[in-house]
Structure 1
């Protein structure tokens, strides 16, 4: 059995520094290689993981689908931005939602709000959280907050671990799902117990819900039922909804007023953001209703991938439409083979491989989106055979 403990070791200071120096989504590569990969993916007849990369013209079509282009845009606020905020608040069942240009900015404001309301500058968060791995420790650098670690296990903390925190905290942050651990979610009962334990300590609960949209299937609850457990929640518009960019911070009206003031202070009060807002509205119409189907089909894809020689999948079955795949080759060998397969056979298998802490293995993230719905288990097996032939040639 593959040792999954490697996921915790990626939280070391060295690896955090390495990850903080690159993008949130993919390892840094040369511009030429990145363009070659994107071109190959666009040219594939079949794509197992992710969506086909879009040109700027295609992105503009998404904007056009998101609303009436003859209407007036936003001017620092209003227009499609206000429409988006109201729609998100309705979907999540919160009093209000505030548009942010990035999730990193939204989360800093949420944690600052918690610190000011509780008088405590400590935040309980996981060392694998997005704030530690990808945000250059903005919570400490910009707001003077300090992290307390409830657990190093590759999952969200349990109620018992929150109860056992060595000092008071102003906020408890839970990432739903936790990407670095394998897009893992707690059970509904575990989540209820963990949030209750946080409140027992007098702490606010903040959900890093960048991918909350697709978590309803595993948790067995609606979005409003899930967000009702938190004081604030951040959601992304591009990670699952295929929007251009942007995020929302949702919660009470009081928090929203605070968020708008601090969004301005962080430089996020942009004159016009209607392209991102319209793209997000389009994503809510187009992708959000399909996410449960993606999650269901991810189980079929995960089973088929796990059957490939030497392959390991985690979690198995997946909790969302994303999971991790390990294969017994180096990252360089897999990257080269996948690219060759895409260019020659027009089959997009899975890109962005990294060498794992498990000797002899490399790991990637699989995202089952619209293109993957065309794949059967037999299709996965056939593509795996072709990849193996490429690796052995």
Structure 2
């Protein structure tokens, strides 16, 4: 019912949005002699803010056409190398001729970046991808919006997620590297443990966990406390709703993206209010650069996707209420997941000092449960002065975190003396 009411509210507001857009166009027209007056800028700013706050935000484009490698531009193209109804594995293939002109003739390591399936689209990791593209062949999990997947495609749960990670690692060939950003930490670690125990040739060479709730019992945040305080039945009754028409997934039960977004924004509501007030003031003052930065951030932040009922509820249960992985009790397809079986996969954990989503210690817990790993294959880093977002994006990520991840991967490449990924062809 909530989903239908949300849709009805959006369509009921269409006349007001149309009026706001017309007002914005009128007061920004170069043919309007009053457009550059104080009154004109105020009218434009108010109409623009209303239009942006009430419009729909679709899946953003990656917009990565080129990157700088050693200071020289290298063209990049997106290619789909593996897919299911639930995810598209996207390869950001760098142009081989441009790489040679940049002096890069060696084979590049393949890195699978597993984007979070927790409300936002994978494009939230655009800055992460750009950084890794300087030195690696980068593959990203671009997860589907559950409301766009027809009910006939079946279900997608926590264990399907683990299977998908395993299948994508296999698609990349022998010993790729995997980076899990936030939510994927537990299922990625489970996939690595199963592949290690089976001795699979495509088990990762390294796994990097960034702000991940490996053990959510440690340094609990507001998110963790909510999961602990509410019974499982509360999440099932209050957070899951039915996709209405005309979406392809109509009839599917989901955790809606707009509900997740409301939860995100409520955690820092005053900050968001101040940001929109600054945006309004920048428009009225004619500060186009400041307004553009605001729009760029919120165009991404307000773009959300739905999660399937089963994946969302199992994540709450497995990761945030029963803590099955760190307790050694996670069972996948009638098989106990044994992180101690991991003996030759490098482990790097990265946390932010001010992370209010995954508290300090939750990611570091991976070192304790991967008890079969020797110390020389483990590394941990806590980045000062950053919150959750800063762990995988922004200036400190580019200048302080990414170089450490790059060095960790390079060390593993040298240690295992394994074949790398030959760009831009297929995995070796």
- TM-score (normalised: structure 1): 0.25
Larger Rg: 2
- Higher RCO structure, 1 or 2 (CA under 8 Å, sep 6+): 1
Under a length normalisation based on structure 2, what TM-score does the superposition of the two structures give? 0.23
